[in-house]
Amino acid sequence: MAPEIISNSYYGISVDIWALGVLFYFMMFA
């Protein structure tokens, strides 16, 4: 999860992009 979510602070679209990037990374290299 993104640090913003873990710290319970406000988050927006940037976290969605971050999560998509992590998903893409695991699909490519897992």
Q: In whole angstroms, what is the distance from residue 16 CA to residue 30 CA?
A: 20
Please, where are the H alpha helices in the chain?
3-6, 13-29
- The confidence score (pLDDT) of residue 4 equals 59
Residue 26 pLDDT greater than 90, yes or no: yes
Sorting pLDDT into bands at 50, 70 and 90, what band is 18? confident
SS3 at position 10: coil
**Mean pLDDT in residue range 4-21:** 71
Q: In whole angstroms, what is the distance from residue 5 CA to residue 7 CA?
A: 5
Residue 15's nearest CA partner among 29, 30, 2 is 2
Mean pLDDT for the chain overall: 76
